[in-house]
Amino acid sequence: MSESIFYFLQQIANGLTIGSTYALIAIGYTMVYGIIGMINFAHGEVYMIGTYVAFIALAGLSMLGIDNPFLLIAMALAVSILVASAYGFSIERVAYRPLRGSKRLIALISAIGMSIFLQNYIRLAQGSRDIAMPSMIQGGFLFGDPSGSHIMISYMQVIIMVTTVLCMIGLTLFITRSRMGRACRACAQDIGMTNLLGINSNNVIAVTFVIGAALAAVAGMLLGLYYGVVNPYIGFIAGLKAFTAAVLGGIGSIPGAMLGGLILGISESLTAGYLTAEYKDVVAFSLLVLILLFMPQGILGKPEVEKI
């Protein structure tokens, strides 16, 4: 294989890594939108909180003497998912449920308020500086000639992609096979009707928020380990990117969020690789504009959804 193909594949691998995490966060936006038709702008902050909790858990657990990196990561992941889910649940309870039935704009403002509150609360509690963590998993797979053209995929990138795929499979099984999943789909179709049929839609909505938050915590933990830094402001841009991914793929559609995340990640990576890193956000968001111009419902979105 020639050098340029290796380079292309390397950029695709980099794009898939970052795209996977966008997809994980995007699920939270798209599921909530699919059911109650509202954009949960505080979702990016849940991701940020997930990263903080993971860092704190990793530091705490390693102080307790656990030194197996995989055990450490698994335990920290569990703690992070638990805490972030609690946040997701409480955010819905405190900021959105009391406003259910009011105008959508009101819930939206409440979401923005929640986002500002969480960001500043973490800033006050944890300080506004970058908190850094040494990399726990080093090294990677090398394909090709080490001194010539080759692809290098770090173990951390592999972990990110594999975890994302597992989460997506789990979520798909949950949605398509379980009772609760069926209730979720029913609520997405017609929330009034499901209430009449004896399903408590409040519970379904709470579950949606918890799932979104848990996946955001997974993304937060993975990216925290990958980059090794966290500050209270990472939620904003990550949330924006994930929201873009959700819209790109068709908001309300779970496969759409996955696809949208991957497309966004790959387009960023290819732009940085072939044009210049300065323009990667420009190209990614131009892509969004173009897709919305020609496919207003997004790539996999259903045209009949009109809840704005």
Partner 1 sequence: MKSMVKKTLIGMGVSAALMGASLAQAEIKIALAGPVSGPVAQYGDMQFIGAEMAIEQINKNGGVNGEKLVGVKYDDACDPKQAVAVANKIVNDGISYVVGHLCSSSTQPASDIYEDEGIVMVTAASTNPDITLQGYELIFRTIGLDSLQGPVAGRFVAESIKPKRMAVIHDKQQYGEGIATAVKSTVEEAGVDVVMFEGITAGDKDFSALVAKLKRNNVDFVYYGGYHPELGLILRQSAELGLDVKFMGPEGVGNKDISAIAGEASEGLLVTLPPSFELDPKNKGLVSAFEKKGQDPSGPFVMPAYAAVQVMADSMNATGSNDPYEVAEHMHKASFSTPIGDVKFDEKGDLTSFNFVVYNWHADGTKSPAK
Name residues whose C-beta falls within 8 Å of residue 35's C-beta, 6 or more positions apart in sequence: 184, 187, 188, 191, 204, 205, 208
In the bound state with partner 1, the residue whose beta carbon lies nearer, of 4 and 68, is 4
Candidates 62-70, 98-106, 177-185, 230-238; binding stretch for partner 1 (CB under 8 A): 230-238
Q: Which of 95, 204, 223, 259 binds partner 1 (CB under 8 A)?
A: 223
Q: In the numeric block, which tokens belong to residue 206? A: 């709470």
Q: In the numeric block, which tokens belong to residue 39? A: 């954009």
For residue 156, the minimal CB distance to partner 1 (Å) is 7
In the bound state with partner 1, the residue whose beta carbon lies nearer, of 271 and 297, is 271
* Contact call for residue 154 and partner 1 (CB under 8 A): yes
Q: Which of 130, 176, 190, 296 binds partner 1 (CB under 8 A)?
A: 130
In the bound state with partner 1, the residue whose beta carbon lies nearer, of 129 and 307, is 129
In the bound state with partner 1, the residue whose beta carbon lies nearer, of 10 and 85, is 10
State the sign of the Cα–Cα–Cα–Cα dihedral 230, 235, 241, 245: positive
For residue 246, the minimal CB distance to partner 1 (Å) is 19
Q: Which of 68, 138, 179, 304 binds partner 1 (CB under 8 A)?
A: 138
* Contact call for residue 102 and partner 1 (CB under 8 A): no
The span from the CA of 175 to the CA of 144, in Å, is: 40
In the bound state with partner 1, the residue whose beta carbon lies nearer, of 140 and 296, is 140
Distance spanning both ends of the chain, measured CA to CA: 49
Q: What are phi and psi of 46, to 5 degrees?
A: -65, -40
- Binding to partner 1, residues 156-175 (CB under 8 A): 156-157
The span from the CA of 286 to the CA of 292, in Å, is: 10
The span from the CA of 38 to the CA of 19, in Å, is: 23
> Residues 135-143: contacts with CB within 8 Å, 24+ apart?
135/225, 135/228, 136/58, 136/69, 136/72, 136/73, 136/225, 137/69, 137/225
* Contact call for residue 14 and partner 1 (CB under 8 A): yes
Candidates 82-90, 102-110, 130-138, 208-216; binding stretch for partner 1 (CB under 8 A): 130-138
Counting beta carbons within 10 angstroms of the beta carbon of residue 148, is it exposed (0 to 12), middle (13 to 18) or buried (19 or more)? exposed
Three-class secondary structure of residue 163 per DSSP: helix
For residue 109, the minimal CB distance to partner 1 (Å) is 23
- Per-residue contact string for residues 249-288; x = within reach of partner 1 by CB under 8 A: -------------------xxxxxx--xxx-xx-------
Chain residues binding partner 1 by CB under 8 A are 3, 7, 10-11, 14-15, 17-18, 123, 127-130, 132, 134-135, 138-140, 142, 146, 152, 154, 156-157, 223, 227-229, 231, 233-234, 237, 268-273, 276-278, 280-281
